[in-house]
Amino acid sequence: MTDIAHALRDTLLALTRIPSPIGEEAELCDHVEARLTSSLGGEAITRFHDSLIVHAAARKDAPRIALVGHLDTVRTQHDGPPRIEGDRLYGAGAADMKSGLATMIELVERLDLDALPCDLTLIFYEREEGPFEENRLGPILDTHPELHDLDLAICLEPSDNQMQLGAMGSVHATLTFLGRTAHSARPWQGDNALYKAANFIRELEQREPNDVELDGYLFREVMTPTVVHGGGPRNVVPGQAEVNVNYRFAPGRTAEEAFAELRELAGDQCKIQATDLSPAGHPHASDPYIQHLMRCGVNGVRSKQAWTDVARFDAIGVPGVNLGPGTAAQAHQPNEYTELDQIFDGYAIFERFFTQREDNPLY
């Protein structure tokens, strides 16, 4: 195992040993801040609550690149402490996305920052795994206008080193179906709200995905019921039922327009309220920096059939991509792990992106 492989493994293991479920990122933020202060100096780091903006390399009139990763994890169950077993590293966030954080840290500590052809910023932020409005990246972008001048933002979400372009937008809405209660022995005296909800759910089941192609990449629009609540006492016909519907929509429309489509589909069957509106992100497949990254050994290129914070950057005019070394299928899983070889390969991709001179628009 090479020195960099050892370092990546040890850094990831250290990160996974610090619990950071959403809302409890302070200790991990302290750890990353202390480490990067030691290697880069405190003047390079701005702390914003439990998030960090790290100005690793300042270059006037040079392309401005950002590496972006969230500190928080979801709460999952694990059979043991963070550990290495064979070619896998186990621990909460090992895939999503502390493998990406480890890559970011090792890059800025090992690259010759004085020789970089670009301005390089790292953003470590909190509360990504929760609602759109509570995600700390939004306030960071609102209060640091210099980040609006970035030429490219790379979000190191777990992708198995596959480059994923754009991001699906997401609407969550609560649909409330009203009926009339009655004794369950005499249901004809009431109006069962669950049947009304079931009829609408059946409509959604029969809808085919709507395929949208942008820049040669496919985005599939889908509406999915994800949560159902209804009823009270078990011998009472429910007078109300609630269904959460998640609409994933393609770039090219606003979240408000997507919600309006869902509201029109529901019509007068129910009351409807939007609970979370997240914008979509364009793929920017022809961007020269994204084209260069494609040539650096990524494990294929496809559209992102989900939402990520790439969409936040797109909203302020900054092209972005998803590319991270974590094992994507392990995100949010019990006994989460990531493949160590993928982390080593991911580091090499980013090293080539910054240092390979041939056909590199950074130079």
Question: Among this protein's residues, is 264 annotated catalytic?
Answer: no
User: Alpha-carbon distance 5 to 312, whole Å?
Assistant: 32
Half-sphere exposure of 91 (CA within 13 A, CB side): 24
Question: Among this protein's residues, is 3 annotated catalytic?
Answer: no
Catalytic: which of 119, 128, 129, 160?
128
* Tokens found for residue 35: 């480490």
Catalytic: which of 72, 126, 314, 351?
72
Residue 287 near residue 319, CB atoms below 8 Å: yes
CA dihedral 26, 27, 31, 33 (to 10 degrees): 20
User: Alpha-carbon distance 333 to 344, whole Å?
Assistant: 22
User: Alpha-carbon distance 351 to 31, whole Å?
Assistant: 24
Q: What is the DSSP letter of 266?
A: H
Which helix (H) or strand (E) segment is 146 a member of? none
User: Alpha-carbon distance 259 to 247, whole Å?
Assistant: 8
* Tokens found for residue 131: 């609602």
User: Alpha-carbon distance 309 to 326, whole Å?
Assistant: 16
Burial class (CB in 10 A: 0-12, 13-18, 19+), 345: middle
Enumerate the active-site residues.
72, 128
